[in-house]
A and B are shown apart, each in its own frame.
Chain A
Amino acid sequence: MAAILDAKGLNKSFGAVTAASDINAAIEQDSVVGLIGTNGAGKTTFINMITGYLKPDRGRIHYEGRDITDLAPRDITRIGICRSFQIPQLYSSLTAYENMLMGLGVVMRNAGVGGFFSRGRPNVPGHGRPAEEVADAILERFGLVEYRDKNAQVLPGGVRKLLDIALTMAAKPKILLLDEPTSGVSAEEKFVIMEMIMKAVRAEGATVLFVEHDMEVVSRFAQRVLAFYDGRIIADGSPDTVLSDREVKRFVVGGELHRLDEKQGAANA
């Protein structure tokens, strides 16, 4: 399969801290990729570089053969790369339904539909229905119907996460980057939520990259795993291969334990 997204030689430093060091990754169309690594390993930096929030110091990013390295976040969103956030970014004074309408409104404006002189209720490009109907359909797909008319700021954490991801669906993304979609969600809810997200998102045929700390979730939902450590990708392959990799076990999966061992070793020496 052809690569829809191709990152080559990405480097990014913040002062003395290297957040990305020679990152190379070609993401195939229609795949589901899990990004794992300890805090500060470079996962979110990788997502931030793809979505234009950060510009790499060196290296290029190509999307469908086009160089998108220097594009602004909104331009990257417009061509089909959308993201959700670790801390949900919602319009907190608006209801869940109004949040959806806002996202759909932007899609319409970018396509030049529904402007000052338009009449009636035009269809949202890509969805083939008026915004009000699309908003309800997406909320339903994410199981958010009961929260439709509640203000976003009073919604529970897990629901806010779902709404954050539902918002990205307004733009019919071709690539969706999910930054810790199940963080702050209880262990038993994780699989339910992830199942729902994957079903909703994959129904649209989007390629998915998701950051996740729970290895069970990763091995269940990812087709491919990229393991980050210290700004580098130290393993890349199927979940089975990567999660059984010695370095990954040492630096990513058992990261905390390993450091504890080291400290004890140093104390004993």
Chain B
Amino acid sequence: MTSDRTPRILGAILVVLLAAGPFVPQWAIFLITIALAKGLVVLGLLILLRCGLVSFGQALYYCIGAYTAGMLGRLFEVDGVLTLMLAGMVVAAVTAYVLGFLLARYRGIFFGLLSLAVSMILYGLLVKSETLGSSDGFNVLPSTLFGIRPADEWVRYAVLVVASVVAFVAALLVHRYLKTPLGSLAPAIKDNEIRVEYMGASARYAIHVNYVIAAALAGLGGGLAATTVGHIDPEMAYWTTSGEFIFITILAGTGSVIAPFLGALIFGIIQTVAFDISPNTWQMVLGGALLAVIVFLPTGLWSLFRRRRAT
């Protein structure tokens, strides 16, 4: 049996992020923090994709997490960054628990389109609701860490610290979960549900649990994005946002819990550079990058880090 190196690699990445943070320019800290937020969402998609399910509507929970964080600040003046993120996570998870009773019954394209439909309902509601700023959204209160608001030049770094620690813990927990009998059932569900049932397990139950976990992670990411950017709008629930998450999932691959964060970071870098070079056609560069990955690394960027398994 090979020893499990993932926790150590995750720990090393965390240390590097925390140590290098103060010496990195502000824009790069922002880029990394957003990559961590999106990485959390993609981590959830990784779990679903291992079950053979593609959610075209994960932006629903990203948006729920963000709006929960934003509204807690707006209505109750809550500004603790961890409280806001956890609240976003809980609301997203509860929503997913309820919707899961419906969605866990569907597979393939039906699951994908149904999840897309639900996210677009939220988008439609948000665009029409004037109290929430309709299509403009609203600004999120500046947040604090354990009641302290760091000096302006340290704010970004403080958020990065929180984001890194949260992402580290989330990745570690998901990594552990994927090794439990329930978590490791994912490829079995993808391959053959009949056999799963005739082994004494419920595929629908496992999918429901995975769906809630994926939503919780997306809510967490949404809360983080809201506090980092300082502004939220209905675009967060729009289908292009969901598409972006799927884009990153395919780019990264599902080989490891580290892959989503790596994928999100590379996505952010390509996007920034492409936008810099050609502001009008940056999507083309992104598309080209994805095509290249699909052609040359069909199992995602992560396959670069893993020796191909002999079959």
A interface residues with partner B (beta carbon < 8 Å): 51, 72-75, 77-78, 82-83, 85, 89-95, 101-103, 105-110, 114-116, 132, 149-151, 154, 167, 170-171
8 Å CB contacts to A: which residues of B159-184? 176-177, 180-182, 184
Contact A116 B177, beta carbon cutoff 8 Å: yes
CB distance from A11 to the nearest CB of B (A): 24
A78 to B187, CA, bound (A): 21
| Set A94, A107, A116: member contacting B191, Cβ < 8 A | A94
A108 to B200, CA, bound (A): 11
Nearest 10 A/B pairs, CB to CB: A109-B181, A105-B181, A77-B200, A91-B191, A89-B195, A78-B200, A106-B199, A106-B201, A102-B188, A151-B311
Contact B197 A73, beta carbon cutoff 8 Å: yes
Contact B191 A106, beta carbon cutoff 8 Å: no
Contact B198 A74, beta carbon cutoff 8 Å: yes
Contact A93 B187, beta carbon cutoff 8 Å: yes
A114 to B201, CA, bound (A): 15
Q: Which residue of A lies closest to B203 (CB)?
A: A74
Contact A93 B201, beta carbon cutoff 8 Å: no
CB distance from A142 to the nearest CB of B (A): 17
Which residues from B are CB-within-8-Å of A170? Answer: 199
Contact B199 A167, beta carbon cutoff 8 Å: yes
A167 to B184, CA, bound (A): 16
Contact A116 B201, beta carbon cutoff 8 Å: no
Contact A105 B311, beta carbon cutoff 8 Å: no
| Set B177, B180, B198, B199: member contacting A102, Cβ < 8 A | B199
Which residues from A are CB-within-8-Å of B190? Answer: 93
Known A106-B185, A109-B182; judge A92-B191 contact (CB<8 A). Answer: yes
Which residues from B are CB-within-8-Å of A95? Answer: 311
Given contacts A77-B197, A109-B182, A151-B311, 6 further A-B contacts (CB under 8 A): A89-B192, A92-B191, A105-B185, A108-B181, A109-B180, A116-B180
Which residues from B are CB-within-8-Å of A115? Answer: 180-182
8 Å CB contacts to A: which residues of B189-229? 190-192, 194-202
Known A94-B187, A106-B185; judge A89-B198 contact (CB<8 A). Answer: yes
Q: Which of B192, B195, B199 has the most CB of A within 10 A?
A: B199
The yes or no answer to B1 lying at the interface (CB within 8 A) is: yes
Known A89-B192, A151-B311, A154-B311; judge A77-B198 contact (CB<8 A). Answer: yes
CB distance from B141 to the nearest CB of A (A): 35
| Set B181, B187, B192, B194: member contacting A106, Cβ < 8 A | B181
Q: Which residue of A lies closest to B182 (CB)?
A: A109
Contact A74 B180, beta carbon cutoff 8 Å: no
Contact A83 B192, beta carbon cutoff 8 Å: no
A74 to B197, CA, bound (A): 5
A-B contact pairs, 12 of them (CB 8 A): A74-B197, A92-B191, A93-B190, A102-B187, A106-B185, A106-B201, A109-B182, A109-B201, A110-B200, A116-B176, A132-B1, A154-B311
